[in-house]
Amino acid sequence: MNLIIHRKNNETIFYFIKNCVQKGNSYIGSNSKLDGMNPNIWKFKWTLDTPTPIYKENTVVGYEESVSDIQEAPKFKDTYVGNKEDVDKVIKKEIHKKYTLEDEIKLLRRRDKEFDEYNSFVETLVSQGKAFKEEHFKESV
């Protein structure tokens, strides 16, 4: 997934980070690494899009698009996702918010009413994830 960073109350793309991951206030991508980005100054827009760079003497000096021209990445369960694998990670995270790995193992062994609740919870999440993937990532489902 890509990240566009711009100043608050400004539509000009200041930074574009391709294949970005966030670690605290640091953003690391295949084309750049930025540390200590203050969220009081900057706004962040996760996207699957890539803006068109404007070059001057082989250096990127801006982008043809403004922030509003770039489509925001889809969100599943309040988490930005860039592909079907990201959706699967969110599903696992949601399951482990409610059930620890130890809880899951115990439930799988017992297969009682609690297991039925667990199973229903997981099946619902998986169904929601599948529907989300079909809607947002048709070519990769």
pLDDT single digits (tens) 72-88: 999 999 999 999 999 99
What is the structure's pLDDT at 141? 42
What is the structure's pLDDT at 1? 94
Nearest to 129 by CA among 80, 84, 72: 84
Range of the domain at 121: 75-140
Say if residue 10 is in the same domain as residue 35: yes
Say if residue 12 is in the same domain as residue 37: yes
Domain boundary among 51, 69, 87: 69
What the block records as the tokens of 69 is 């021209």
Domain boundary among 15, 43, 69: 69
Say if residue 85 is in the same domain as residue 112: yes
**Tens place of pLDDT per residue across the chain (141 aa):** 999 999 999 999 999 999 999 998 899 999 999 998 888 999 999 999 999 999 999 999 999 999 999 999 999 999 999 999 999 999 999 999 999 999 988 888 888 889 999 999 999 999 999 999 999 998 754
Domain boundary among 69, 89, 124: 69
Cα–Cα–Cα angle for 51, 75, 12, rounded to 5 degrees: 30
